[in-house]
Amino acid sequence: MLVTLQGLLLAAGSGSRMGTPKALVVGQDGAPWLSHGVASLLGGGCDGVTVVLGAAAEDAVTLVPSGPVTTVVAADWADGMSASLRAGLQALTATDAQAAVVTLVDLPDVGSDVVRRVLDLGTDAGVLARATYGGRPGHPVLLGRDHWAGVVDTATGDAGARDYLAQHMVFEVECGDLATGADVDGPTGDQRRPT
């Protein structure tokens, strides 16, 4: 199958505030967050999904659903979200994908409808877009292949692609009517607004 659009689910962190790696979290509906993230990306229009694991990767890989899904382990996951993003994008360079839809495992209310809306902008190699929630930038982020090397070169710490996006024209896609875009940070459901 010729893959032209790949989902990239970042799930490598240790979840220090959560008390467990977020890749191991099972939602209130009984489904692992990993399953939800993969389903949102595939249901939103991705041809395949690459899941980036790190902390507790050996346990987390057992929760990754079957299908057009691959996994990669970010060996330097403790360096922050940027390590996961770099590992994922570097893995995608070996595919035929022209764009990657990047999202985080701890966004349980971001579903396939959000992904579809972001993808309405197109999926060519030059696209650069992100979901916003009430005007605040969040995930998913749509990165055309032309931008991957630049993102990899500038991603540091927990900023991910933030610096790269700040220096380029990014189409903002308002999705606040579909989800909050807030990440869940604690075992009691503590949420942070998108940053």
Domain edges within the chain: 5-192
pLDDT digits over 66-77, tens only?
999 999 999 998
Q: How many CB atoms are located within 10 Å of the residue 83 CB?
A: 24
User: pLDDT at position 78, please?
Assistant: 83
> Contact, 115 vs 43, CB < 8 A?
yes
Of the listed ranges 74-78, 147-151, 167-171, 173-177, the one predicted with least confidence? 74-78
Q: What percent of the chain has pLDDT over 70?
A: 93
Cα dihedral 141, 162, 124, 92 sign:
negative
**Can you identify the CATH homologous superfamily of domain 5-192?**
Spore Coat Polysaccharide Biosynthesis Protein SpsA; Chain A (3.90.550.10)
